[in-house]
A and B are shown apart, each in its own frame.
Chain A
Amino acid sequence: MEPLDLELEATEVELPVEPMLVNVGPSHPAMHGTVRCVMELSGESIQRVDVQVGFLHRGFEKMCERGTWTQVFPYVDRCNYVSPMLNNVGFAMACEKMLGIQVPERCQYYRMILGELARMSDHLTCDGAMAMELGAFTPFLWMVKARDLIWDVMEEETGARLTHSFGRVGGMAKPPTNGFKEHVRAVSAQVLSIMGEVERLLFGNRIFLDRLEGVGFISAEDAISLGWTGPCLRAAGVPYDVRKAHPYLKYGEVDFEVPVGTNSDCLDRFLVRIAEMKQSARIIEQCIERMADEGGVNVDDPRVILPEKEEVYSTIEATIQHFKIVMEGLKLPAGEVYSYSEGGNGELGFYLVSDGSGTPYRVRIRPPCFLATAGLERIITGQMIADVVPCFGSLNMIGGECDR
């Protein structure tokens, strides 16, 4: 064994400072979905980063131009696949805006309840994954358990846990089931109680808080200039929520608050989502009280709504109606429309162009998390490499929606 060189002074040692180029992703556990970050590191701190999206691009918008307007629903399901109901409703509302029709009141409340449940499942997934990626595995399981309860409701109502394809232009595929209200009430209470446990698990944990607090800061001006919306923008202190700013369905009539953050860091984004879930529960409770138990959920318009199957088989009028909608597709008047609603990640916009035929001429989706992901570069530059995980997680990039 060599003797220690006691003569050497510490000040004379020069550590190599050449930056190192590290490629994370597109397939990497820290990158949910498929995103690639090419990072230039100096030691452990990030000097520069190039965020590359698009690896999950499947050409949804182009595919929409092949079928009928109704056949777009399965595609929007697969955009933000943790809250597909919000996409379904958003697209249906865009088509209805074009047609100038409004769904019955019962359907509006039904859409709101399902939509808020979807928002809760979206936020549960995001916050749960964030905690898990920082080593807190138990809260993740807790939150996914809560999400499963919500999906039980979805399954009961739509027949599918994940991709429901439940929205329809002019209504919903089916009216609410008989036990819908009781089921939602029970689940909502359960989810809130699970969230209480999650908060107790996490907020007494110094490591968890230290990993989030003061990490991934963005100023409100920057967030706005990047086009951020949703929980990420609200965490920066900007109280913009489409449900409040431009109320649709019955959001103008229900009582709820828009939680905002103060520090605009990862912890705020985490907390805003938790607070929003509680507001969602409030909205759900009010909607359940107001939703009628009887009545249809579809508009009475033969141009857009399929007739009852029984009538299709027995009367020529219903056969023709069915034929027209299925074979030629329901026809949106020629023109264009931009319709937007509050999705899980922020303002979910649909820009539709119709040439008057039964097939979409163009469907453009404004994906909220695409714009949020555009800010990733800004919030992680200068941070430690380990901070990429909570920063990226807090933006809730959903590959299907971002890359489409």
Chain B
Amino acid sequence: MPTFLLDDREIEFNPGDTVIAAAERAGVDIPHYCWHPGLSTAANCRMCLVELLPPEGRPALLLDVLRFDEEKGDYVLARKPKLQPACQLGAVAGMRIKSQTSEHAVEARAAVQEFLLLNHPVDCPICDQAGECRLQDYWLEHSGKKKRMQDEILHRPKAVDFGPTIVYDAERCIVCTRCVRFCDEVVGDHVLDKRERGNLGEIVLAPGRKLDHEYTLMTEHVCPVGALTAKDFRFKARVWFLRSVRSVCQGCATGCNAYTDYDPRNQTVYRHRPRENQAVNKYWMCDEGVLDYRRVHDGRILTARVAGKKASVEDALAEAAQRLAPVGKDKLAILLSFTHSSEDNLALIELARALGVGQAYATGRPSGSGDKILRHTDKNPNRAGVSQLAQALLGGLPLDFSALVAAVEGGSVGAVLALGSSVEDAALAAKLKRVPVVAISTFEGELAQQAAVLLPASSWAEADGTFVNAGGLAQVSEKAIEPQGESQPAWRHVLGVAGKLGVSLPFSRAKDLAKVLSAHAPKAGVSGSSAAAEAQA
């Protein structure tokens, strides 16, 4: 690989790389606001200016400047090198660049930082970006100077409603145009643009439009300052109290990599952020996926129910066994779920095998709209994982929900042990009522309504789980918070039912379950495969 020299460090690069991209890959941070690896180069923030030493035997590009000489008490003519933005500077083998070690670059960055904060309001205490704001970080790292301007700052529009999800604050905006470029280049919707220049520059909506496409929250994500804030997150939490785990979005079959940010003190999940994975979602997530975290706390089933009345988990398990045992293995059916992790589904399949049950069905959330960017029409995160497991362990793909309803009506199914919350065809769900249904559900939904016995399952954020996306990539979503209410991971309830039915399963702990999973579906069992993909990226 060709290399160049950055502050006495050899940096490898691929032909066509810019200096900043190569440096970032090597773990060297050149400060920047407007550059984003997933967007085109604008080179408008000037924070990444570096000094490029001239090639051997060539004159340097120099500028004439005036410097104040304290001794003379007057300006004297001086020269300084013409600095280059590292985000636009193509890497060339053998080039020598000075970043932190260049007094000119350091001086220029401090000046850029001073200008960016010139008209910035005193908003940190009420700004959601505080704590993860580039302006804060870079002020301390690259400026550290007090305000010199004595005048009142320039006031501009605040809390501008940009659409259903985003609020814009022109005073905080540094007009880096990342949001504009994101809408143009990734979404292909020129809904944002920049108006005016200098102090007056601001981001505006296209006339007659609102910021209302399917990826609006990514504009907030790319905003390096607090100019764009998400209505969903505004004033909800302070980021320095939040902790993150690596998770997988549950909104559709794409399986976008995300961070789940939660507050460990009150065990509450506050947001999803995209996590870079070049093989799946690159840098982005859709609005639906970002906001999907809300399901961790909304519409949850937190206690067991028997015949619609609250019951203890222990009583519900006993009741479940009482309903299932008399039916006999030939008329018992299991219903797998495309929305649950491979671990949960594997547990149910193992129970079916232990009991000798032959009838396996599977369902999930109904399909929805999709696009060519990230959103998949299949709204289930683990359809591929369930299919893999069923094929490996049951010798064929499970039948769909309408087949189950037909079997119930035809009398060949006498009881159902179901995993999951919603079904693909809600209109048919009521027909399940004919037979006893034991449901292990996370959310209120069709299955919970039909269930004679309902066991509360915890959500994906409360346990480690493997999900296989539409592309067949198995990814692990990590546990963020403790199981809510009386809920437990669904596979634990399956274990409980197995115990009451008098059969033993080949696992009793999460560790054993992961082992069984990797034995049956080697692709799905690789823990941290998303991390591997990250490394690849």
Contacts of A321 in B (CB 8 A): 139-140, 144
Interface residue stretch chosen among B116-124, B296-304, B486-494: B116-124
| Known contacts A303-B140, A323-B124; is-contact A316 B146 (Cβ 8 Å) | no
B147 within 8 A of A: yes
A318 CA to B146 CA in the complex, in Å? 7
Nearest Cβ in chain B — how far from A169, in angstroms? Answer: 15
Q: How far is the CA of A327 from the CA of B240 in the complex (A)?
A: 8
Interface residues of B in 175-225 (CB under 8 A from A): none
| Chain B binding surface, main DSSP class | loop
Complex Cα spacing A327 to B133, Å = 13
B131 at the interface (CB under 8 A from A): yes
Task: List, in ascending order, chain B residues with CB within 8 A of A333's CB.
Answer: none
Inter-chain contacts of B130 with A (CB < 8 A)? 323, 327
User: Is there a chain A Cβ closer than 8 Å to B52's Cβ?
Assistant: no
Whether B136 sits at the interface, judged by CB under 8 Å, is: yes
Query: Considering only CB atoms and an 8 Å cut-off, how many residues of chain B contact the other chain?
Result: 19
B residues within 8 A CB of A301? 144
| A328, closest chain B residue (CB) | B240
CB neighbours of A307 from chain B (8 A): 146
The answer to whether A324 and B146 have CB atoms under 8 Å apart is no
User: How far is A249 from B145 in the complex, measured between Cα atoms in Å?
Assistant: 28
Contact check: which of A303, A313, A318 meets B147 at CB < 8 Å? A318
Once A324-B136, A327-B240, A328-B240 are accepted as A-B contacts, the answer to whether A319 and B125 lie under 8 Å apart by CB is yes
Are B122 and A313 interface neighbours, CB within 8 A? yes
Please determine whether A315 and B140 come into contact, CB atoms closer than 8 angstroms: no
| With A327-B131, A327-B240 as contacts: A315 and B124 at CB distance below 8 Å | no
- Distance in angstroms from B224 CB to nearest chain A CB is 14
Interface residue B135 (Cβ < 8 Å from any Cβ of A): yes
Question: Is there an interface contact between B144 and A302, defined as CB atoms closer than 8 Å?
Answer: yes
Quick one: which of A313, A320, A327, A328 contacts B139, CB cutoff 8 A? A320
Please determine whether B140 and A316 come into contact, CB atoms closer than 8 angstroms: no
Given known pairs A302-B140, A327-B131, the reply for A320 and B124 (CB within 8 Å) is yes
Closest to B130 in A: A323
Chain A residues near B240 (CB-CB < 8 A)? 327-328
**Which B residues are in CB contact (< 8 Å) with A327?**
130-131, 240
Known contacts A323-B136, A327-B131, A327-B240, A316 near B117 by CB under 8 Å? yes
Question: How far, in angstroms, from A313 to B121 measured CA to CA in the complex?
Answer: 11
Cα distance A311–B140 in the bound complex, in angstroms: 16
A324-B117 Cα distance, complex, nearest whole Å: 16
Q: Tell me the smallest distance from the CB of A251 to a CB of chain B, in Å.
A: 32
A317 adjacent to chain B (CB < 8 Å): yes
Q: Distance (Å) between the CB of A84 and the closest chain B CB?
A: 30
Give the docked Cα–Cα distance between A380 and B521 (Å). 73
| B-side contacts of A317, CB under 8 Å | 117, 139, 143, 145-147
Nearest CB in chain B: distance from A177 CB, A? 26
Residues of chain A within 8 A of B124, CB atoms compared: 316, 319-320, 323
- Interface readout for B111-155 with A: 1 if CB under 8 Å, 0 if not? 000000100111111000011000110011001111100000000
**Do the beta carbons of A311 and B146 come within 8 Å of each other?**
yes
Give B143's nearest chain A residue, CB to CB.
A317
| A314: Cβ under 8 A from any B Cβ | yes
Q: Report chain B residues within 8 Å CB of A318.
A: 146-147
CA A319 to CA B146, docked complex, whole Å: 10
What is the 8 Å Cβ interface bit string for chain A, positions 325-344, against chain B (1 contact, 0 not)?
A: 00110000000000000000
Q: Which residue from A302, A303, A316 sits with its C-beta under 8 Å from B122? A: A316
Q: Provide the residues of chain A in CB contact with B143, threshold 8 Å.
A: 317
User: Is A320 a contact partner of B135 (Cβ separation < 8 A)?
Assistant: yes
Residues in B neighbouring A303, C-beta threshold 8 A: 140, 144
A363 to B135, CA, bound (A): 32
The proximity string for B residues 326-351 relative to A, scoring 1 for CB distances below 8 Å and 0 otherwise, is: 00000000000000000000000000
The A-B contact count (CB < 8 A) is 52
Decide: A316 and B147 in contact? CB cutoff 8 A.
Answer: yes
Bound Cα distance A302, B110 (Å): 14
A316 touches B121 (CB 8 A): yes
Q: How far is the CB of B238 from chain A (nearest CB, A)?
A: 9
Q: Are B131 and A319 in contact (CB under 8 A)?
A: no
Shortest A80–chain B CB gap in Å is 33
How far apart are A315's CB and chain B's nearest CB, in angstroms? 4
Expressed in whole angstroms, the Cα–Cα distance for A324 and B132 within the complex equals 11
Task: Give the nearest-CB partner of B117 in chain A.
Answer: A316
Once the chains are docked, how many angstroms separate the CA of A324 from the CA of B145? 14
A314-B122, A327-B131 in contact; A320/B146 too (CB < 8 A)? no
Q: Which residues of B contact A320 (CB under 8 A)?
A: 117, 124, 135-136, 139-140
Q: In the complex, are the beta carbons of B146 and A315 less than 8 A apart? A: yes
CB proximity of B374 to chain A, nearest CB, Å:
34
The residues of A that contact B121 with a CB separation of less than 8 Å are: 316
In the complex, what distance in Å separates the CA atom of A133 from the CA atom of B155?
71
Shortest distance in angstroms between B169's beta carbon and chain A's nearest beta carbon? 13
Q: Which residue of A lies closest to B138 (CB)?
A: A320
Least CB distance from B423 to A in Å reads 47
Report the separation of the CA atoms of residues A321 and B144 in the bound assembly, to the nearest whole angstrom. Answer: 8
Identify which of residues 173-225 in chain A touch chain B, using a CB-to-CB cut-off of 8 Å.
none
Q: A319 contacts which chain B residues (CB < 8 A)?
A: 122, 124-125
A334 to chain B, nearest CB (A): 16
> Which residues from 250 to 304 on chain A have a C-beta closer than 8 Å to any C-beta of chain B?
301-303
Chain A positions within 8 Å of B145 at CB level = 302, 317
- Least CB distance, A57 to chain B, in whole angstroms: 28
Bound: A317/B120 CA distance, A: 9
- Are B122 and A324 in contact, CB atoms less than 8 angstroms apart? no
Chain A, residue nearest B239 (CB)? A327
A303 to B124 Cα, complex, angstroms:
18
Quick one: which of B247-273 are within 8 Å of A by CB?
A: none
Question: Shortest Cβ distance from B516 into chain A, in angstroms?
Answer: 39
Question: Min CB distance, B448 to chain A, in Å?
Answer: 43
Residue of A nearest to B145 (CB): A317
Shortest CB-to-CB span from A71 to chain B, Å, is 15
Chain A residue with Cβ nearest B137 = A324
> For the complex, what is the distance from the CA of A327 to the CA of B131, rounded to whole Å?
8
Chain A's closest residue to B119 (CB) is: A316
A226 → chain B closest CB, angstroms: 46
Q: How far is the CA of A83 from the CA of B206 in the complex (A)?
A: 68
Minimum C-beta distance from B239 to chain A (A): 10
A279 to B124, CA, bound (A): 51
Provide the bound-state CA to CA distance between A320 and B127, in Å: 12
A358 CB to nearest chain B CB (Å): 10
Give every chain A residue within 8 A of B117 (Cβ-Cβ). Answer: 316-317, 320
Q: Is the Cβ of B144 less than 8 Å from the Cβ of A316?
A: no
- Closest-CB distance, B73 to chain A (whole angstroms): 24
**Distance between B121 CB and nearest chain A CB, rounded to angstroms:** 7
The docked-state distance in angstroms from the alpha carbon of A320 to that of B145 is 11
Across the interface, name the chain B residue whose C-beta is closest to A324. B140
Q: Give the residue of B122, B125, B131, B144 whose beta carbon is less than 8 angstroms from that of A315.
A: B122
Which residues of chain B have C-beta atoms less than 8 A from A315's C-beta?
122, 146-147
Bound Cα distance from A394 to B135, whole angstroms:
57
C-alpha spacing A317/B110, complex, angstroms? 12
Question: Can you name the residue of chain A whose Cβ is closest to the Cβ of B125?
Answer: A319
Q: Which residue of A lies closest to B136 (CB)?
A: A320
Residues of B within 8 A of A316 (CB): 117, 120-124, 147
A-B contact list, 13 entries, CB within 8 Å: A302-B144, A307-B146, A313-B122, A317-B117, A319-B124, A320-B117, A320-B124, A320-B140, A323-B125, A323-B130, A323-B136, A324-B136, A328-B131
The 7 A-B pairs with the shortest beta carbon distances in the complex, nearest first, are A302-B144, A315-B147, A316-B120, A320-B139, A320-B136, A317-B147, A319-B124
- Interface contacts beyond A316-B147, A317-B147, A320-B136: sample of 7 additional A-B pairs, CB < 8 Å, sorted by A: A316-B123, A318-B146, A320-B117, A320-B140, A321-B139, A321-B140, A327-B131
- B residues sitting closer than 8 Å to A (CB atoms) are 117, 120-125, 130-131, 135-136, 139-140, 143-147, 240
